[in-house]
Structure 1
Amino acid sequence: MRVNTGMRVVIVTESFPPDVNGVAHCALQTARQLACLGHQPLVVAPATSAGPGADAGAPCPVVRVPSLPLPGYPQVRVALPSRRVAAALVGHRAQVVHLASPFVLGARGMAAAGRLGIPAVAVYQTDLGGYARTYVGRGEATAWRRIRGVHAAADRTLAPSTAALRDLEAHGVPRVRWWPRGVDTVRFRPALRDAALRRALAPDGELIVGYVGRLAPEKRVELLAGACALEGVRVVVVGDGPSEGAVRAALPGATVLGRRTGPELARIFASLDLFVHTGPLETFCQTVQEAMASGVPVIAPAAGGPLDLVVPGRTGVLVPPDDAAAVRDAVWALAADPGLRAAYGAAGRAAVAGRTWEAVGEQLVGHYEEVLAARTRTVVAA
């Protein structure tokens, strides 16, 4: 266990619970682990429509900045200009500023940290360049200029996967290091497999193939259409978002459960026979880890974060990105081999056993300490 130094950390995040997404979840776990390690985190996040009671269960104080819903995607809120960011850094007497997926609010946090002379660590989590290339057809260079401009001002950028680290370095982002994500191996575990839930989801004993995540264009959930057509297969989709109507139309026969969280979500994960992630733009892909922790074999695209997580022929299958036929064929092959599914699931559980949020939190504190030490050396040298 790392020696408690009681660091004062301000986490500036583009999203925080009750939002349900990778950035919000990682920011929550970061705050929780810092508090457990004896440090003093404070979160700055966009205001939510959930009201003043939204932060009652937060592991630390939360400062909310006025925000507006993103047009066409109200689940995402964009922070408005506010003096609360700088005031939070000053009031908390921050020693380190942690910027979670900085773009709008994070850029303001970076600027405030620079003015105040506070070291900043930026965590890269969203492939905005890939989104621009795939869904707009232009603007990738502009997105990368923005990413580079924000992250170049940080003392250190943390990438969640080797693919993300290579992308950042290739686009000229300096001082990049690797920092993965943790998974709650107590909450997500094979023992939660529920026979009654399985009967409800697949009353004729079908193989249950699940997707869990946001329903948005970049997630490409429609690639499961071929799997839906397979005899003896039931596709279950968990999540919500702007593409819910399109997903329902593209996946006839699928069961769309909407958003599920907490113990219910863990029970669903453990009750799957296969987990399929379809999005090709993941810098990490937390749901793949959660499926592996649940003892469920994984099918995912051979791109981005899943390249680090899924070992083909051992914990699951990697398929070419955006290839619906490859997804269908991988589902069909594993559907026919229960012994291989069981072996992949057991190996996946073993692979993530040491990837706890506690271990990841200690790694993060190590990055903070190195950044602070480098700042001290610079001051002494000057």
Structure 2
Amino acid sequence: MEPSDLRIALFSGNYNYVRDGANQALNRLVGYLLKQGAHVRVYSPVRDKPAFPPTGDLVNVPSVAIPRRPEYRIPSSLSKEVRADLEAFAPNIVHVSSPDVVSHRAVTWARAKGIPVVASVHTRFETYLQYYGLSWLEPTFRAILRRFYRRCDAIVAPAESTAAVLYAQRMSRDITIWSRGVDRAQFNPDRRSLEWRRSQGIGDDEMLVAFLGRIVMEKGLDVFVEAIDAAVKRGVAHRVLVIGEGPARGWFEQNLPADAVFVGQQTGGDLAVALASADVFLNPSITEAFGNVTQEAMACGLPVVAASATGATSLVRDGVTGILVDPLEPDQYGEALARYAGDPALRARHGAAGLDFAKTRDWDTINADVMKLYTRVIERRARMDALYGKRWLPS
């Protein structure tokens, strides 16, 4: 197949109305596909004031706001208007990127028409439940996810560690890696600015420990706080920098040291300057399927202290580009920060090694793998149809 033969209907629960790593990866993918000559149409909820302009054609999907999290919306129905648009677009492959109601309906629609479906995994949704006192629902939720993914022709996961979990959970027999690149023109050590640090009241020689991301509990805010407390108890001299915004900001401010610096959501060059001006990146999240922010920190030359979990283990080499710790042992985070505080040369070595890794992460090469997968599943579906004389469906 030629790229121009591809007609991709992409379903997303959040394509551009709130900025996060998942939707930025999807927008980059669509940009790459369009550049190659493929035809793409995106179906997602929209808001009057999105976080950034969408890449490609975007069709509004009916949605409702999430209770207590109004910034996020849940796609609610594959309406008559959306179905008509989908029929007119006539895709030869459907890509679903979140296991919501509309994506379930889109998979059913595609199966009825013999159109192959690819699902991409962007986060460990089942792990969110523990942050809202609903851990007892995890087996049921995992079963729902399994049914969803096993009705798709293939899954793309962002890292080998995430793929291993999906295999173990029996989500699919066909799992391909769609990793993530990093914009090294934006994120690089040259962005580091002592002037910026001074403007935030941070001394030139203070070890600055950074958090970057949406300020929501499922990002491991509680563990981050415990890690900083452990470092304080060890007498580690440091400051905390929080880059990002979110509904749990008040809780985070109350529980971090009073001299923690909150700079809010940053984008573009401002984000790169803030991140590169830190000295260590601390990421305790266990909900990530990849960890875009970890890779961006590495591209800035920062050593990483992270939970030994999906999202970090495929990026951070323990003792080489950073330090991996037991996700549930705050004292280990404190020990890691103490090591970096006491050995600036170690920070420099691990940061330089992380930068070398980030230099290998080219977006176009990575996104080309997704286009190859589209072609493979389309051609496989055609072979199965010819072999069995009827539409073949994955199960």
What TM-score range do you get, normalising by the shorter chain? over 0.9
Residue 343 of structure 1 aligns with which residue? 349
TM-score (norm 1): 0.93
Aligned length: 378
- Picking from 358, 373, 386, the partner of 1:367 is 373
Give, in whole Å, the separation in 2 of the partners of 1:294 and 1:91: 45
Give, in whole Å, the separation in 2 of the partners of 1:201 and 1:104: 44
Give, in whole Å, the separation in 1 of the partners of 2:222 and 2:73: 25
Residue type at the aligned position of 2:334: R
How far the C-alpha of 1:32 sits from its partner, in A, is: 1.4
The answer as to 2:81 corresponding to 1:80 is no
Matches within 5 A, 1:1-382: 4-50=3-49, 57-81=53-77, 82-133=79-130, 135=132, 136-174=134-172, 175-205=174-204, 206-225=206-225, 226-227=227-228, 229=232, 230-252=235-257, 253-381=259-387, 382=389
Deviations 1:150-205 (A, max 9, x none): 11111101122223212222222222222212221222111111221121234333
Give, in whole Å, the separation in 2 of the partners of 1:4 and 1:354: 25
Give, in whole Å, the separation in 2 of the partners of 1:270 and 1:201: 14
Give, in whole Å, the separation in 2 of the partners of 1:120 and 1:84: 21
Give, in whole Å, the separation in 2 of the partners of 1:84 and 1:27: 24
Give, in whole Å, the separation in 1 of the partners of 2:300 and 2:39: 32
How far the C-alpha of 1:146 sits from its partner, in A, is: 1.4
Structure 2 unaligned residues grouped into runs of 5+? 390-395
What CA RMSD, in Å, does the superposition of the two structures yield over aligned residues?
Answer: 2.0
Residue type at the aligned position of 2:123: T
Structure 1 unaligned residues grouped into runs of 5+? none
Give, in whole Å, the separation in 1 of the partners of 2:80 and 2:113: 14
Residue type at the aligned position of 2:248: S
Select between 226-235 and 120-129 the one with higher mean Cα deviation: 226-235
Residue type at the aligned position of 2:325: V
Residue type at the aligned position of 2:160: T
Give, in whole Å, the separation in 1 of the partners of 2:146 and 2:289: 16
Give, in whole Å, the separation in 2 of the partners of 1:130 and 1:305: 13
Cα separation, partners in 2 of 1:315 and 1:14, compared to 1, 3 Å: same
How far the C-alpha of 1:112 sits from its partner, in A, is: 2.1
How far the C-alpha of 1:84 sits from its partner, in A, is: 4.1
How far the C-alpha of 1:250 sits from its partner, in A, is: 0.9
CA contact (8 A) 1:187 1:263 kept: yes
How far the C-alpha of 1:4 sits from its partner, in A, is: 3.9
